């Protein structure tokens, strides 16, 4: 059993922390909205704390899963932040999808405090978190630091891989989001085409999903896209945040991302329709009602 602090109980963090508790770890949670932390404790036992600093007292691993770079800095460095209260030899694991620059910044601050660091963004969405089937992409400068974190992350991951030094996890998550952006737009165009051609969309998806067109998006979103159902999954506003990170990194390293840039513009149009919280598959709405 490991003493763990989990900071951030959103749609991803809450089930991830639940899996840690179910695996027998002692988990103390923190959330900016205290009522959510109290509700988590009522459902899962364990303990909550009023501040990040209080949550990490005695913890060997500290997991962070919040919204963006600024949120991470607030939880880690801010008033009563986690890092100042962590014990030497503890490990900070950041599951937030954030920038590679932030990962390197955190690593430097952690090293100065005698704390290990792993950047460990996740993929698999809310369903993956709920089912303990996330893919975790990790960057760590010390293999032993990654190994210690991996043993705990296993409670909610189907795959947890060390991809290189600090920052490699966040860079790999950018690759993941670039892939998804292109696939979702291609699927939206294909499903809209099938519907306008008076094909049975469900049957078409079933048939071509057994061939080279198969993808997670095809399996899980083709039918709901055709029905205009977007009230689940990964929100447009978060995908735009992730694409902004990827596009910024692409400018820095000289990589061309024309499709990702176009899809980001299309998501901006979805947001203009009030779709910030719609699932990312809502790209098809622009084709169904231009």
> Catalytic positions, please?
173
Burial of 31 (0-12, 13-18, 19+ CB in 10 A): buried
Supply the DSSP string of 216-264, one letter for each residue: HHHHHHHHHHHTT--SSSSBHHHHHHHHHHHHHHHHHHT---HHHHHHH
Instruction: Name the pairing type of β-strands 116-119 and 26-30.
Output: unpaired
List the one residue out of 70, 120, 124 whose CA is nearest residue 95: 120
What stretches of 34-113 show up as alpha helix (H) in DSSP?
34-44, 52-56, 69-77, 100-112
Chain centroid to CA 68: 10
Q: How many residues does the chain have?
A: 290
259 neighbors 213 (Cβ within 8 angstroms): no
Q: What is the dihedral of CA 160, 152, 145, 93, to 10 degrees?
A: 80
| Radius of gyration in angstroms for the set of CA atoms belonging to the chain, rounded to a whole number | 20
């Amino acid at each position: 059993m490991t003493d763990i602090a989990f900071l951030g109980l959103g749609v991803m963090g809450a089930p991830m922390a639940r899996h840690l508790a179910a695996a027998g770890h002692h988990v103390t949670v923190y959330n900016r909205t205290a009522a959510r932390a109290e509700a988590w404790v009522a459902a899962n036992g364990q303990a909550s704390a009023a501040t990040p600093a209080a949550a990490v007292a005695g913890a060997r691993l500290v997991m962070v899963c919040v919204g963006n770079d600024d949120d991470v800095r607030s939880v880690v460095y801010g008033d009563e932040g986690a890092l100042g209260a962590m014990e030497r030899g503890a490990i900070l694991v950041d599951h937030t999808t954030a920038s590679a620059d932030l990962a390197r910044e955190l690593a430097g601050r952690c090293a100065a405090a005698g704390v290990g660091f792993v950047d460990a963004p996740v993929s698999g969405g809310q369903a993956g978190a709920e089912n303990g089937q996330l893919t975790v992409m990790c960057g760590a400068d010390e293999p032993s630091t990654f190994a210690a974190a991996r043993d705990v992350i296993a409670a909610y991951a189907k795959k947890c891989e060390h991809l290189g030094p600090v920052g490699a996890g966040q860079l790999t998550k950018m690759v993941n989001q670039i892939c998804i952006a292109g696939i979702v737009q291609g699927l939206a165009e294909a499903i809209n085409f099938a519907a306008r051609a008076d094909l049975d969309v469900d049957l078409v998806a079933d048939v071509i999903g057994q061939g080279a067109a198969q993808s997670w998006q095809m399996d899980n979103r083709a039918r709901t896209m055709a029905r205009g159902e977007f009230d689940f999954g990964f929100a447009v506003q978060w995908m735009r945040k992730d694409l902004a990170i990827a596009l910024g990194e692409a400018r820095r390293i000289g990589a061309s991302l024309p499709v990702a840039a176009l899809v980001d513009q299309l998501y901006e149009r979805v947001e203009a329709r009030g779709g910030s919280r719609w699932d990312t598959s809502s790209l098809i709405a622009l084709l169904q009602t231009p």
